[in-house]
Amino acid sequence: MTDSASHDIVSLQLNASAEVKVLIVDDSRSLRRVLKRELGRMGIHSTEFAQDGVAAIEALRKEVFDLILLDIEMPNLDGIGVLKLLKADPDLKDIPVIVISGFDYLEQSIQCIRLGAEDYLPKPFSSVLLQTRVFVALAKKRV
């Protein structure tokens, strides 16, 4: 990582609570709480939840988000479907998406990246890795 990127991440960390809004999309209430807590530790306190892909798309049509943390396996509309809809929508396509899935399949992670996801994390995830990926995704968005 370059000094510039490191500086951007530190700057983001200092300003995160005032500026960043994250949509957490997962059908597991406990995982949504864990992700909210982890984001809070990073200084990101503005979060919204969606329990499935349909609720996520509805939330994205009503509010502006800086980042989406997206599960793959969900009822009604899965994460792959959400990614396809997001990337086809000119108003939503630039929101970075980090896919967090209980399945650590190389093929699935490649598919998500090809569909436009910024990154892919298998569950259970490391807090340090989550923090790094979140701040890198947000730093890239601001460039």
Residue 22 CB neighbour total at 10 angstroms:
23
Residue pair 49/24 in contact (Cβ under 8 Å)? The answer is: yes
Average pLDDT of the residues of the chain: 86
The answer to whether the beta carbons of residues 25 and 101 sit under 8 Å apart is: no
The SS3 of residue 21 is: strand
The CA distance from 15 to 78, in Å, is 32
CA dist., res. 11 & res. 55, Å (int): 32
How far apart are the C-alpha atoms of 90 and 112, rounded to whole Å? Answer: 18
Q: Which contacts of 5-9 are long-range, i.e. CB under 8 A and separated by 24 or more positions?
A: 5/136, 5/139, 8/139, 8/142, 8/143, 9/132, 9/135, 9/136, 9/139
The model's confidence at residue 117, banded by pLDDT at 50, 70 and 90, is very high
Q: What is the CATH number of domain 22-127?
A: 3.40.50.2300
Overall average pLDDT of the 15-32 stretch: 84
Confidence of residue 7 (pLDDT cuts 50, 70, 90): very low
Q: What pLDDT, in 10s, does the model give residues 26-69?
A: 999 999 999 999 999 988 999 999 999 999 999 999 999 999 99
Kindly report whether the global pTM for this prediction surpasses the value 0.95.
no
How far, CA to CA in Å, does 73 sit from each of 8, 12, 26, 64, 134? 33, 30, 8, 24, 21
DSSP state of 27: S
For the chain, the domains span 22-127
